[in-house]
Amino acid sequence: MSAGSRAPSSGPLAELGANPDALGDFRSDSAGSSPTASGAAGGAPLAVGRRRSESGRLRRDLRALLIGNRLNLVGLLIVVLFFALALAGGWVVPHDPYGQDITDRKLLAPSATHWFGTDDVGRDLFSRVVVGSRTSLQVAAVVLLFAVVVGTAVGAVAGFRGGLVDEAMMRLTDLFLAFPAFVLAVAIAATLGPSLTNTMVALSTVFWPWYARLVRAQVLTVKERDFVTAARSLGVSPTRLLLRHVLPNALSVVIIQVTLDVGYAVLATSSLSFIGLGAQPPTAEWGTMLADSRNYFRDAWWYTTFPGIALTLVVFAFNVLGDGLQEALDPRAARR
């Protein structure tokens, strides 16, 4: 998505005459609204061929992502595994993740009965780690959904409108970016009170400004391209221009960033729970389990190890998958 830097010498229509391929990109959207679009019939086959070529390149890149790079494939398999556990965890766990038995099952080592051992009140750790995957991924999904929707809306409007609208929205965004993200999340969670819901509110507040900045930068680049200038000259409304031409060409970086941020959201959720501001006992959440296991680190190594491994695997897998998607979806990364 490189920005067009050449200014039209005699207006947008003259530039279209020198570059008929550009008109083919938006002919299907503009043919019914302007008689000028009838002149694009010669550019339509070229546009269709170009779309097919780009679609074929994307399929080849995605195939190379999964088959050509084993590390990306490992990351994808781990992500699929944890999503499957999150969806079906409640039906596949061998024990009640909240069932306690201090007398007979306290701090039992891993065995055939309890694969990951038990905790300080006799709960099965494997069951709690599996159920904890649902908690962590649910929080990440809610946080990133809010961040993407709000951040994309703010960034798209600011970048497309420019002027005072852009200044006002970006200064508001800068207010949130002026503080370290995790410090601001801790402050918000501490103010609202310790709970998983307040953790989602705190993390959503610190995640959306990054998406606003990211989308704004992409929109500023895309809206200067020749096909956008040509569509504007044919009378395409600003709303349609933004939603049908500008945003679709700016969303690939958002997809990449979301994949990377899932791991960060899970890690931030566990961090807030670890310091007592996130999920509260007896909720099965990895950060809470790590906090509870601190006093038993020497005597019960499994208590800390298995929740930590689960957290590490999720963060690792989403980071690897995000890097692979960047290579597949971002042509500039492929050229580098």
Residue position matching structure tokens 């959720």: 269
Using alpha carbons only, what angle is made at residue 159 by residues 163 and 332, rounded to the nearest 5 degrees? 140
**Single-letter code of the amino acid located at 182:** F
- SS in 3 state form for 132-165? HHHHHHHHHHHHHHHHHHHHHHHHHHHHHHCHHH
Contact 120, 106 (CB under 8 A): yes
Helix H or strand E segment including 82: helix 70-92
Q: How far apart are CA 229 and CA 188, in angstroms?
A: 43
How would you write the pLDDT of the chain (336 residues) with one tens digit per residue?
444 444 444 444 344 444 444 444 444 444 444 444 444 444 445 444 555 555 566 566 666 666 667 888 899 999 999 999 998 877 888 899 998 888 888 899 999 999 999 999 999 999 999 999 999 999 999 999 999 999 999 999 999 998 999 999 999 999 999 999 999 999 999 999 999 999 999 999 999 999 999 999 999 999 888 888 898 888 888 889 898 889 988 888 899 899 999 999 999 999 999 999 999 989 999 999 999 999 898 889 999 999 999 999 999 999 998 888 887 776 555 444
> What separation in angstroms does the CA of 279 have from each of 4, 91, 134, 291?
49, 22, 13, 11
- Which residue ranges form the domains of the chain, and what is each CATH number? 87-100+133-336 (1.10.3720.10)
Q: How far apart are CA 122 and CA 189, in angstroms?
A: 30
Q: How far apart are CA 286 and CA 269, in angstroms?
A: 9
